[in-house]
Amino acid sequence: DGGITQSPKYLFRKEGQNVTLSCEQNLNHDAMYWYRQDPGQGLRLIYYSQIVNDFQKGDIAEGYSVSREKKESFPLTVTSAQKNPTAFYLCASSTGTSYNEQFFGPGTRLTVL
């Protein structure tokens, strides 16, 4: 099946710990994105990557880091520098140009204890 997978579905972490969220796609899409959603809100862009080994900051990149070593994978690390990391994280992908549809994974719910 073609699609976007995210793991884990739920994640708990203690304050001060870094944690990495996984995002994989088999749609052969060039571009991948990470969004954050807080309760009752819309989504906000954290990072995006249009091509392997390149990525750009979005609107709320502080406290997060990413890598893009493979076309299929775009992991997000939530660092201890992120002041309020508890949120729902969604990964998306597209063929890359402004005129193409984005598709989303099922998301990861991160809770900081």
> Contact positions toward another protein, by CB under 8 A?
31, 33, 35, 37, 41-45, 48, 50, 56, 58, 88, 90, 92, 94, 96-104, 106-107, 109
**Closer to another protein at the Cβ: 11 or 80?**
11
The Cα 70–Cα 62 span in angstroms is 23
Please say which residue, 75 or 107, places its beta carbon nearer to another protein: 107
Least Å distance, CB 16 to another protein, is 26
Answer yes or no: are the C-beta atoms of 112 and 14 closer than 8 Å.
yes
Hey, what are 41's tokens?
A: 């809100």
CB-nearer residue toward another protein: 9 or 14: 9
* CA–CA separation, 57 and 77 (whole Å): 13
- Smallest distance, Å, CB 4 to another protein? 10
Closer to another protein at the Cβ: 1 or 101? 101
Give the HSE-up count for residue 83: Cα atoms under 13 Å, Cβ half-sphere: 2
| Shortest Cβ 30–another protein spacing (Å) | 10
Q: Record the tokens describing residue 72, joined without a space.
A: 């299929």
CA 74 to chain centre: 7
